Amino acid sequence: MFRPGVLALAVMAAFAQADDTAPVYIPVSDAPPPGFEAVAQTLLLNDIYLNGRRIATTTLGESTDRLPEALPDAVLKALVSHRDSNGEIYRDTSYVVTRNAQDNRIDVYQRQEGPDMIQLGGSGALRTSLNGIHQQFGDSTRTTMVMNNRYSRGDNGATVSIQQLDSDTRVLSAYYTHDNDDTRYLAGLIPQTDVAAGSSNNIVAGVGVDFNRGSTTERKPLNILLTAPANVVLTYAGQLLESVTLQEGSHSIDTSTFPAGNYPVTATIHYLDGRTETRTLSSGQQRISSAQNWSVLGAIAGVQGDTSWGPQLPDEYTPFVGLSLSGYNTDSFTSTAQLSYDDDRFTFSPSMRYDAGRFYASFQGRFTTDDYWQFAQRFNVDHGNAQTYLDYFALGADEFKTRTVTLTHQHQVSSGNLYGSVYYNSSLRHRTNYQLMYSTAFNIGSLDNLMLTTSVNFGDEVVWGLRLTYGEKFDSLNMRYRLSSYLDNQRNDAQQHTLDHSYRYASGLVQSKLHGMLTSYDNNSYFAQSNINDSRYGQYGAQISMIEGVDNPYVTTSVRTSALIDRTGVTFTGTKPVSTGLIIDLSDAPSGDYKLTVNRQRHRLAGGRRHIIPLPPDADYRVALSSSNSKGVAVLGGTQHIHLRQGDVFRPDWQISPVTYVVGRVTVDGKPVSNTLVKTGVAEAYTDERGFIAVEALVGEGVIRAGDVTCTLLSVNNLLTIGEHTCKFTNHVSQAQ
């Protein structure tokens, strides 16, 4: 009787693959021929890897006598029962098992728990900051200082903010908080940042509750384990979602920017050693929120004074009640509304947002019973290599009404970017403005950091301009230099020179910047700044700027300090203990989503919480925070560059400030400032011929610059004097929703 050997079986298999039509005969018997069992076992040998390390080579027969003992029984049974399968064959809360039938390789991934944070006892944490600015124009000076203090211990906290304007002292906030899971209770002088804001005085003496501190829309990260360094490409229906290069080991890939919905994601793994592997992962979106549809998110009740709070109490008080409501919400649609009653005036502020990945739409409005109304709409369409935005804003207050429409399109063309916009404002004499701009990078000889930008503006007159930018980096000196030169057809030219220097030490970073702009129209400006970011003691900075004028220069000097004394005993625990990373304290931030960017990785954080971001030590990081969908909120502090050593825990000192709409009239020496560009810390707009303006600004310390006059927006209907000039904002100042 013929007894096939291993070589004979291999030869017959080769013939079968070479010619599918050729008959191949293998003797069949009721009993396996002697020695055939060994052949079958040889063909079913598999290498088993645990978290990328080979732990066994085994058969997948009916018995488990050759399977590794390090794996639990459930995993071993899955290996046997799915011995002929390919792809993912098992998954539970602790293990994920995949099999590559072509390579006879089995990967067992043991999930790594993320780090947890435990706040121990101790004396709590105190964060204090002081921001001061000194303005000088000729012989006139003005000094403004704002001090913020926040003390927290466990679930309790206290906040006190004081503003000093020359000899005038004002209390911006003074309240106590108690946290219970996702609910926060407040009592004291509460600033209106979240709930039904919009009164002429943004401080309520009373009590409040926020039921939705932990509200956020999050997408579960994709967990993936790599056996070697690789480039991971994530796609869905042919659309590129993410491309990232990762090292060997277990990784969680952030998916907060993925399109809404639940769908499979294809992960194509290109190992740097030439191997390619494809996996199918599940990208699921969940809404983590303590609030349900059609529910109350927060409430506030109390009284408001007719003047600011300070050493002298207000003379008169009016009742105030506000509610924040949740409407209908899905993964892609969100709706909220604010209701308030203030001194015989009702205010209704609805907000809706629809995000379907490539299409985004939002609506925000505010309507009162005293004939004040405003609403804003935005539409955004993503074309892959292009973006289109349409913004519409309308406002009416007493005799003032305005409408603005902005259409913007950005498109990648060849090696550059094409930008086009149309701006319409019903309040301006020249209501419509068109702009085209194209920028591209290029090289000239050894100069490989050049950028050329051409622009054309069609408005009252046609203005075209050219801007050439060059940058150079000196690694040995930790310095960067940037030159930007501009010229237009009206013979206006300007050159900007910027020099940055950074110095790292054991627990922090020192950054310095020098900037100068030289113009042909005698309006040169100079700027110097230095900042210290220390992971143990806080942040400190100072800057001085000067703008040359016709008669006297305008000089500002500002100082910014932020100290942190943390005795809460914050520790990291988990299966992978972490001692290096970031602590992002959003405990006092309005509820909503905030986007944290660490180098190229994005994280979505919930307002009202303290977050921990573990990071590998001995590396440089570029971190920035922005407000994703929090209405009427601006994040101050900018991008920070840090270096983390083993054991460093860095606490960025970002400030989150409410945004107001300044709606009123700008006058200088009793005369309206007409057709003048007004700039604030977050926006800019033109006054009309009567001096009326509608523009966003920051509450408390937003700087308003109208032409050659600079004012600091401190409160409602304030009167600010700089030299002989007086800037007066009249009519309404209201909280943006």
DSSP string for 92-160: -SSEEEEEETTTTEEEEEEPPPPPEEEE--SSEEEEEEEEEEEEEETTEEEEEEEEEEEEEETTEEEEE
Say yes or no to pLDDT of 431 above 80: no
Instruction: Give mean pLDDT, residues 610-637.
Output: 73
Query: Cα(425)–Cα(716) distance, rounded to whole angstroms?
Result: 25
Could you give the percent of the chain with pLDDT greater than 70? 58
The predicted pLDDT at position 300 comes to 92
Say yes or no to pLDDT of 409 above 80: yes
Name the β-bridge partners of 33. Answer: none
253 vs 89, 242, 318, 338, 596, CA distance in Å? 22, 9, 51, 36, 14
The predicted pLDDT at position 301 comes to 94
Instruction: Give mean pLDDT, residues 375-402.
Output: 79
The predicted pLDDT at position 62 comes to 44
Say yes or no to pLDDT of 189 above 80: yes
Give the model's confidence band at 302: pLDDT under 50 very low, under 70 low, under 90 confident, else very high.
Answer: very high
The predicted pLDDT at position 205 comes to 93
| Six token digits for residue 43 | 């063909």
Instruction: Give mean pLDDT, residues 556-572.
Output: 62
Give the model's confidence band at 567: pLDDT under 50 very low, under 70 low, under 90 confident, else very high.
Answer: low
- Which has more pLDDT, 523 or 52? 523
Say yes or no to pLDDT of 570 above 50: no
Query: Cα(576)–Cα(252) distance, rounded to whole angstroms?
Result: 14
Query: Cα(527)–Cα(518) distance, rounded to whole angstroms?
Result: 12
Dihedral angle of Cα 687, 692, 696, 701, to the nearest 10 degrees = 100
- Of 107-121, 301-315, 712-726, the least confident: 712-726
pTM for this model (two decimals): 0.56
- Of 10-14, 105-109, 589-593, 700-704, the least confident: 10-14
The predicted pLDDT at position 632 comes to 62
Instruction: Give mean pLDDT, residues 711-726.
Output: 38
- Of 114-118, 532-536, 689-693, the least confident: 114-118
Could you give the percent of the chain with pLDDT greater than 90? 3
Burial of 479 (0-12, 13-18, 19+ CB in 10 A): middle
- Which has more pLDDT, 108 or 281? 108
The predicted pLDDT at position 411 comes to 83
| Six token digits for residue 589 | 């931030």
The predicted pLDDT at position 303 comes to 92
Instruction: Give mean pLDDT, residues 724-734.
Output: 40
Query: Cα(294)–Cα(297) distance, rounded to whole angstroms?
Result: 9
Say yes or no to pLDDT of 30 above 50: no
Most confidently modeled range among 124-138, 239-253, 455-469, 677-691: 455-469
pLDDT in tens, 437-461: 888 877 776 666 788 888 898 877 7
Say yes or no to pLDDT of 646 above 80: no
Instruction: Give mean pLDDT, residues 408-432.
Output: 79
pLDDT in tens, 655-676: 776 666 555 566 665 666 677 6
DSSP one-letter code for 713:
E
Say yes or no to pLDDT of 28 above 50: no
Q: How far is CA 466 from the centre of its chain?
A: 32
Say yes or no to pLDDT of 472 above 80: yes
- Which has more pLDDT, 645 or 438? 438
- Which has more pLDDT, 732 or 466? 466
- Of 32-46, 231-245, 614-628, the least confident: 32-46
Name the β-bridge partners of 239. Answer: 236
Strand order in the sheet with 709-713: 684-686, 677-679, 702-706, 709-713
- Which has more pLDDT, 297 or 17? 297
Helix (H) or strand (E) holding 725: strand 725-729
The predicted pLDDT at position 186 comes to 93
- Residues sharing a CB contact under 8 Å with residue 377, sequence separation 6 or more, in sequence order: 361, 362, 363, 364, 390, 391, 392, 393
Instruction: Give the 3-state secondary structure of residue 194.
Output: coil
Say yes or no to pLDDT of 483 above 90: no
- Of 6-15, 46-55, 650-659, the least confident: 6-15
- Which has more pLDDT, 282 or 188? 188
Q: How far is CA 391 from the centre of its chain?
A: 21
Q: Which residue has the tokens 């993925």?
A: 258
- Of 292-301, 325-334, 625-634, 641-650, the least confident: 625-634
The predicted pLDDT at position 200 comes to 38
The predicted pLDDT at position 426 comes to 79
Instruction: Give the 3-state secondary structure of residue 77.
Output: helix
Most confidently modeled range among 167-171, 235-239, 642-646: 167-171
- Of 113-117, 537-541, 689-693, the least confident: 113-117
Query: Cα(381)–Cα(341) distance, rounded to whole angstroms?
Result: 38
Give the model's confidence band at 273: pLDDT under 50 very low, under 70 low, under 90 confident, else very high.
Answer: low
CB 149 within 8 A of CB 126: yes
Round the average pLDDT of the chain to a whole number and report it: 70
- Which has more pLDDT, 291 or 164? 164
The greatest distance separating any two alpha carbons of the chain, rounded to the nearest whole angstrom, comes to 116
The predicted pLDDT at position 175 comes to 94
Q: 698-726: buried (b, 16+ CB within 10 Å) or exposed (e) per residue? A: bbbbbbbbbebbbbbbbbbeeebebbebe
- Of 143-147, 623-627, 682-686, the least confident: 682-686
Is the torsion defined by CA of 159, 163, 169, 173 positive or negative?
A: negative
